Structure 1
Amino acid sequence: MLRLIKKRTNAFNFPSDQNNNFFEGPGIGSLIQNVGRLNILYFAIQDFPTLTEMYGNEWSENLEAQIRTGIESEGYEHLQHNEFHIFSFNGGEFFLLDPTECKAGLSLEELAYQFKVNIENLVKSDQISRTGNTITINSGHSSFHASQTNNKLWSGFLSAIGKARLEAQNNADISNMELSKEFCDIIAQSKVNSHYQPIVNLAEKKIHGWEALARGPQNSPFRSPLTLFDMAEKLGKLFQLERICREAAISSFGEINPHQKLFLNIHPRTIVDPNFSSGETKILLDRWGLRPENIVFEITERHSVKDFITFRKTLDHYRNQGYMVAIDDAGTGYSGLSSIAEIKPDYIKLDKSFVDNIETSRVNRAIVETFTDFAEKIGGKLIVEGIETQSQAVAMMDMGVHLGQGYFFAKPAKIKPKLSLEALNVKKTPDLKNDHNICGIPVKNLATPVDSVEINTPVPVIQDFFEQEQSLSSVTVVKNGAPCGLIMEYNLNKHLSGKFGVALYTNKPITSVMDDSPLLVDLETTVENVSTQAMARERNKAYDDIIITKNGKLFGVVSVRKLLDTLAHAQVEMAKGTNPLTGLPGNLGIEQEIERRMKASQQYSIIYADLDNFKVYNDTYGFKSGDKIILLISRIITWATARHGSDTDFIGHIGGDDFVQVISPDKAERICLAITRCFKRLVKTSYNAKDNTNGWMEGKGRDGTVSRFPLVSVSLAILDCTPEQSLFEIGEQAASLKKWAKSIEGNCWVRERRQL
């Protein structure tokens, strides 16, 4: 049966007075009767009936909707008008009818191919997350000429439809397209350049490396790397294209720090190609001042590897020369976790589909956390792609993800971009607890004097150091008095314990076994800050000694054990009577403050603060996001009290989302007004884009029923008190007043005045 698909033109910015010519039902007959010709583009999802049987009707309906949207978008972009129509005879197939002369500068065959590549990419991420694989779209084309008599119009139209279908089934030879000639010209003249996108160390908020992304000529269909590589694979020119891309990426890269990386995308079939030579890449690196240690071969996991044993041996060969390996699109495509475990990549890249709804999706959070742990256990690092918002970045930092990439940090650019200011200032949830340090002790108080050796010292000399000084756990390597490396005893023993270890390192300098990027801190850095940096290090270095400097010169070292013992003792002392999340005084401190006011015969007001709809938010977004909201309200209360109150005002945290302020009666209402206004504005940043736009969220209530709930709000109850009131009386009156405040929807405050 003919199924006409109504275009959603209102999604695009076309003038409202244009004729959109929607057709439904028999309207298609009117279309073919009133046009001289129609250009027909045909798209069919390969193996659609089988896939529908495997994945279900919900999957197929979702995919069809995405493809319809993609065809519409491509139509508006390439045809430059809105007179086209889209319809379908059967599930999984689509026809675009264009009654105008094609102005895209491409043949119909090339236009259909361009649509196909872009639509496949549009649905790629969603399909990977749903099925673990991508889908293939077959494309065809034909033209319908309305020169027949009316009784033959329909049969002529069906004949044109059939021709388009047949071409899609036959997979037309693209080598004769004008597009293929343009592509060959790009290859012949190396018309490819590189854009770079930073990969960020989330713990340190520093650039770890850059991924090189190929770009074709401006205003060309091959500007997109998707079209570029799809054509290369079909024409058998993948190796030539990747070589040009590598040359462009390396030659334009510029200067970097010794430990930063350049990620080069490479097809798994290319790396085992006999023509692929690391020597060729090495010559390029030498010419542009880079080393193999700076290069990461990023291999897409979505392509099959026919000879896996040869592939793995080839990777080992390049690794032995210093190159590193990343697996892209982890968990999707052909290889799966078992193959990743065998390859043991230095980096695992997780597709952006796992980032979507990370704030509320427990499944996606579990997947990311599992991959983070998996990467560590095989000695690698996890890179999560597609981080586009601050909330996504915070979620990744909270889960301990090693590296991140996405528009939130920086968009790809021809000259290596710096991190955005927003990215530099982002903090994971635990970092938001206090702006001040819990432990203000400078690390210099813990420094242990240490002997140092010059950079050219032979390995056996260091071995003698450790044998003579049994208590020594590390030796610092210096150059002109400035520390440049660290030797941990356990790490040296690991190098020397092999079968030929001692003989291998006998005549080598200490640089061959030292850690050339140890943690260096200034002597005035606080113990808390140093411990945070120490625990953010790579897993295998987390308990190495920390080098302390003064004006860039060696001052001493401190062990992680000594650091954590000092910090734990300080935190225990400070935690007595304070809330562990906000650092505000708890119940004991609140009672002491009220008793102090009573003894001083002071009149005072108490403001009770409580959050509404907090439980459903906590259950949906997770406990760490819930903690973030509690920290937000505590900061707002602290800010409003400092701005509008007096120096003698008191703030306490009863627990959970309940807070208490003890203040002067004349300041209470102004403080409450500031709190409600500020919280209403800032709480929106704690929601994802969808919930924020809706102004409500969906979640389970206390009865287990899924409902819509308003955004979290704050209810404030002001209770004016006299010195004669007992704590019990205050508690009873406060409970009644809080109930009244919470009965009012939204951010609000109420006040009960007592006769003073």
Structure 2
Amino acid sequence: MNMAADQEMNRSMKRDEEHAFAREQFLQLLRHKQIHTVYQPIVSLKDGIIAGYEALTRVPEDSGFESPVRLFEYAEKEGLIYPLDRLARETAIRNSLAMGGRELLFINIPAASLQDPQFAAGKTIELLRDRGLKPEHVVFEITERSSIHDFAAAKQVLEHYRSQGYRIAIDDAGAGYSSLQAIAELHPDFIKVDRSLVQDIHLHKTKEYMMETFVAFAGKLHIEVIAEGIECEEELLFLTRMGVHYGQGYLLGKPGTEKADVAPGLIQQIVQQRKLHDYAGSAWAIEDLTTPIQKFDRKTLISEVANYFKKNGQAAGAAVVSDEVPVGLIMRERLFQQLAGQYGFSLFWNRTIDQVMDDGPLIVDEHMPVETVSQLATSRDTNLYDLVLITSDGRLAGAASIRSILEYITNARMETAKVASPLTGLPGNLQIHRELNKRLQENKRFSAIYADLDYFKWFNDRYGFQKGDQLIQYTADVIQQAIVVCGRPFDFVGHIGGDDFIALTSTDMPEKLCVEVIRRFDEGVRMFYEDEDWSYVEDRSGNRVATSGVTLSLSLLVCENASPVTLEEISQASARLKKRSKSQSGSVYVSARIGLPAKEDGEPVGSAYPNSSSS
């Protein structure tokens, strides 16, 4: 008995010694400021430019704490999180790689630190001033090491910081309930999606759907999404096509103490894949609204610009360029307001225009859809009615006014409403014919994919017209989503009528697009059967056909346009393909080519490619 007591006493003394040793190591680390910071780049998935850096705390190898996570866990357990967090924040700012401009510095803040009485004491601003930074350059990233217990108090602290210009990010979104609650309660500016949802997202549909949900609701709340833990190109390109705003991970840049550079090849792929997302399904580009605009070199005197506006009373603004690349905008009224102020004339008349121009105007590529430009323009907090500058290959092409953009969208929507399908909202036959004619006139290769539901009459009779309408809407969504993933900018989806659709695409791999449409359709169609399993359906004559339910037949017609092709030829060829695809079981696509060089042309030659996943 005494021996057991002695052993327990020895173990207790050993624990006390270990605890005292760990505490002394921790306090020594604080006293001597032995932690250091590395910085990992956060990259825009719009243009591949580094948007900022996340500051990551590191500890010496001989500190007794094997990782920063263990260090912060120990500090929180021992009630020492406040001084550790303050030291980490000071170190992050003091050695920051973000030097102002448009780069942001993301600083991790444990949720528990929001209760620190010294957290809002103004120390951070002093550190920033010493480093030449401003609050608008800093994003406080609330980490989920511990849950926020008092959201009211946390909101009060964060509002104090927001009022000074700081922004807020919620880390580890999707990794637990508390992060989702934090999003709802704190209304952050950024959501950082946990790497567990990012890893192999291109291989897992559940992760894809969850990310789509994050992007969709973040867009409604004007929150930007950052995907963490990107380690392979497939993940990066998939996330870019989905519309995720920013990416972070070893593929884009490892944590370090020097400025990072994104590989030029990755930047090029990001830009290309982003266009697939931004321009998918769009018929109208901003280039249609481009009008000439006066341009001045950035070192032009303000007096010269003012005299131009005096002589040209209808000119609302002028572009400021450097080697033909737009770098700013000067609006007529704003310039004259500055000159009309006290001493304005004497202060500004002989200065250069780059000292008073707006150096952050809205600049868009000529191929950007008008609706996307409208959304960007109307979401601006200031200068809402300023001109939009338009570029072609990076050089100034002209400008468009907000009025012209809104009028164009209104007229286009009215025209679309007249001829669009009332069920799906997709363009109808009039616009389909226009789009086909336009592509034939361009003499460029494109593909037409005709989609038709099999046994839709059986489904309608069995489940009713309301369910039938829902299945048609689902099919329209499937085709549009597949276009975003596998299509190209300005691809087109139309509703011919009933359960017939058409997609026009310029992708080099239309077969891959067909496979994606079929995969998405087959994965989701079973939800319409109300938990019933079907081994047969009935055809239009009432005969039983062995199949698991409604399937999708695709007819892929590749128009090479190496020789003239007419709408009638497309119609006849697609009818033959449709007959072939409908004769096969399961969801399939069949393909053929027309418009081949004269010596090859003749009866279209094609092959049937049944979907390998169909039953």
Common topology (TM > 0.5):
yes
Aligned to 1:206: 49
C-alpha contact 2:329 2:358 (8 A) present in aligned 1: yes
2:148 corresponds to 1:304: yes
Q: Given residue 369 of structure 1, which amino acid in structure 2 is its aligned partner?
A: A
C-alpha contact 2:36 2:57 (8 A) present in aligned 1: yes
Q: Aligned-pair distance for 1:373?
A: 1.8
User: How many angstroms apart in 2 are the aligned matches of 1:554 and 1:213?
Assistant: 40
Aligned to 2:463: none
2:361 corresponds to 1:518: yes
Aligned to 2:216: 369
**1:626 counterpart (469, 474, 479):** 479
2:526 corresponds to 1:700: yes
C-alpha contact 1:267 1:303 (8 A) present in aligned 2: no
* Secondary structure in structure 2 of the residue aligned to 1:243: helix
Q: Aligned-pair distance for 1:264?
A: 0.7
**2:403 counterpart (561, 575, 578):** 561
**2:186 counterpart (313, 327, 340):** 340
2:511 corresponds to 1:679: yes
C-alpha contact 1:195 1:412 (8 A) present in aligned 2: yes
Aligned to 1:144: none
User: How many angstroms apart in 2 are the aligned matches of 1:400 and 1:619?
Assistant: 26
Aligned to 1:499: none
The percentage of counterpart residues that share the same residue type is 26
C-alpha contact 2:295 2:321 (8 A) present in aligned 1: no
Counterpart mapping for 1:70-89 below 5 A? none
**2:273 counterpart (415, 423, 426):** 426
C-alpha contact 2:53 2:97 (8 A) present in aligned 1: no
* Secondary structure in structure 1 of the residue aligned to 2:380: helix
User: How many angstroms apart in 1 are the aligned matches of 2:479 and 2:169?
Assistant: 35
Q: Aligned-pair distance for 1:545?
A: 1.6
Q: Given residue 230 of structure 1, which amino acid in structure 2 is its aligned partner?
A: E
2:379 corresponds to 1:539: yes
Q: Aligned-pair distance for 1:187?
A: 3.4
Aligned to 1:382: 224
User: How many angstroms apart in 2 are the aligned matches of 1:660 and 1:367?
Assistant: 29
Cα-to-partner distance string for 1:76-128 (whole Å, 9 max, x where unaligned): xxxxxxxxxxxxxxxxxxxxxxxxxxxxxxxxxxxxxxxxxxxxxxxxxxxxx
Cα-to-partner distance string for 1:607-646 (whole Å, 9 max, x where unaligned): 9976999x9xx999996663353578888xx9xxxxxxxx
Residue 222 and residue 288 in structure 1: after superposition, are their counterparts in 2 closer, same or farther (change >3 A)? same
C-alpha contact 2:46 2:270 (8 A) present in aligned 1: no
Aligned to 1:61: none
Higher Rg = 1
Q: Aligned-pair distance for 1:229?
A: 0.8
Aligned to 2:542: none
2:291 corresponds to 1:446: yes
Cα-to-partner distance string for 1:488-543 (whole Å, 9 max, x where unaligned): 799999x99xxxxx99x99999999975411246xxx6364787556446812575
Residue 243 and residue 620 in structure 1: after superposition, are their counterparts in 2 closer, same or farther (change >3 A)? farther
* Secondary structure in structure 1 of the residue aligned to 2:42: strand
User: How many angstroms apart in 2 are the aligned matches of 1:512 and 1:268?
Assistant: 42
Q: Given residue 39 of structure 2, which amino acid in structure 1 is its aligned partner?
A: Y
Unaligned runs of 5+ in 2: 441-446, 457-470, 534-547, 559-567, 594-602, 605-615
Q: Aligned-pair distance for 1:261?
A: 0.5
C-alpha contact 1:369 1:399 (8 A) present in aligned 2: no
Cα-to-partner distance string for 1:366-424 (whole Å, 9 max, x where unaligned): 455334322x3xxxx33344474778767866776654545675554554544461545
2:585 corresponds to 1:743: yes
Aligned to 1:228: 71
C-alpha contact 2:317 2:332 (8 A) present in aligned 1: yes
Cα-to-partner distance string for 1:560-611 (whole Å, 9 max, x where unaligned): 33356679989989xx99x9899999568989999xxxxxxxxxxx999769
User: How many angstroms apart in 1 are the aligned matches of 2:326 and 2:503?
Assistant: 48
Q: Aligned-pair distance for 1:230?
A: 0.6
* Secondary structure in structure 2 of the residue aligned to 1:258: coil
* Secondary structure in structure 1 of the residue aligned to 2:87: helix
Residue 369 and residue 277 in structure 1: after superposition, are their counterparts in 2 closer, same or farther (change >3 A)? closer
Q: Aligned-pair distance for 1:260?
A: 1.4
Q: Aligned-pair distance for 1:446?
A: 0.1
Residue 551 and residue 300 in structure 1: after superposition, are their counterparts in 2 closer, same or farther (change >3 A)? closer
Residue 256 and residue 734 in structure 1: after superposition, are their counterparts in 2 closer, same or farther (change >3 A)? same
Q: Aligned-pair distance for 1:471?
A: 6.9
Q: Aligned-pair distance for 1:290?
A: 3.0
Counterpart mapping for 1:463-502 below 5 A? 485-486=328-329
Q: Aligned-pair distance for 1:209?
A: 1.8
User: How many angstroms apart in 1 are the aligned matches of 2:65 and 2:39?
Assistant: 18
C-alpha contact 1:609 1:716 (8 A) present in aligned 2: yes
C-alpha contact 2:240 2:273 (8 A) present in aligned 1: no
* Secondary structure in structure 2 of the residue aligned to 1:446: coil
Counterpart mapping for 1:533-682 below 5 A? 535-536=375-376, 539-540=379-380, 544-547=386-389, 557-563=399-405, 586=432, 626-629=479-482, 679=511
Between the two proteins, the alignment pairs up a number of residues equal to 507
Aligned to 1:133: none
User: How many angstroms apart in 2 are the aligned matches of 1:371 and 1:607?
Assistant: 34
User: How many angstroms apart in 1 are the aligned matches of 2:182 and 2:325?
Assistant: 46
Q: Aligned-pair distance for 1:546?
A: 2.0
User: How many angstroms apart in 2 are the aligned matches of 1:248 and 1:515?
Assistant: 34
* Secondary structure in structure 1 of the residue aligned to 2:178: coil
Q: Given residue 526 of structure 1, which amino acid in structure 2 is its aligned partner?
A: E
C-alpha contact 1:297 1:326 (8 A) present in aligned 2: yes
Cα-to-partner distance string for 1:648-676 (whole Å, 9 max, x where unaligned): xxxx9979666899xxxxxxxxxxxx98x
Q: Aligned-pair distance for 1:326?
A: 3.3
Worse overlay, 416-425 or 387-396: 387-396
Worse overlay, 526-535 or 197-206: 526-535
* Secondary structure in structure 2 of the residue aligned to 1:259: coil
Residue 428 and residue 173 in structure 1: after superposition, are their counterparts in 2 closer, same or farther (change >3 A)? farther
User: How many angstroms apart in 1 are the aligned matches of 2:69 and 2:380?
Assistant: 38
User: How many angstroms apart in 2 are the aligned matches of 1:533 and 1:727?
Assistant: 34
TM-score (norm 2): 0.56
Residue 475 and residue 409 in structure 1: after superposition, are their counterparts in 2 closer, same or farther (change >3 A)? same
C-alpha contact 2:37 2:56 (8 A) present in aligned 1: yes
**1:241 counterpart (79, 84, 106):** 84
Aligned to 2:60: 217
User: How many angstroms apart in 2 are the aligned matches of 1:200 and 1:686?
Assistant: 33
2:167 corresponds to 1:324: yes
Q: Given residue 50 of structure 2, which amino acid in structure 1 is its aligned partner?
A: I
**1:293 counterpart (125, 136, 157):** 136
C-alpha contact 1:612 1:712 (8 A) present in aligned 2: yes
C-alpha contact 1:450 1:557 (8 A) present in aligned 2: no
Q: Aligned-pair distance for 1:267?
A: 3.1
Q: Given residue 386 of structure 2, which amino acid in structure 1 is its aligned partner?
A: D
Give the CA RMSD over aligned residues: 6.8
**1:176 counterpart (19, 35, 54):** 19
Residue 619 and residue 312 in structure 1: after superposition, are their counterparts in 2 closer, same or farther (change >3 A)? same
Residue 425 and residue 743 in structure 1: after superposition, are their counterparts in 2 closer, same or farther (change >3 A)? same
Q: Given residue 292 of structure 1, which amino acid in structure 2 is its aligned partner?
A: P
C-alpha contact 1:680 1:747 (8 A) present in aligned 2: no
User: How many angstroms apart in 1 are the aligned matches of 2:398 and 2:87?
Assistant: 49
User: How many angstroms apart in 2 are the aligned matches of 1:191 and 1:448?
Assistant: 57
* Secondary structure in structure 2 of the residue aligned to 1:540: coil
Q: Aligned-pair distance for 1:559?
A: 1.3
* Secondary structure in structure 1 of the residue aligned to 2:93: helix
Residue 190 and residue 490 in structure 1: after superposition, are their counterparts in 2 closer, same or farther (change >3 A)? farther
Residue 322 and residue 587 in structure 1: after superposition, are their counterparts in 2 closer, same or farther (change >3 A)? closer
C-alpha contact 1:295 1:324 (8 A) present in aligned 2: yes
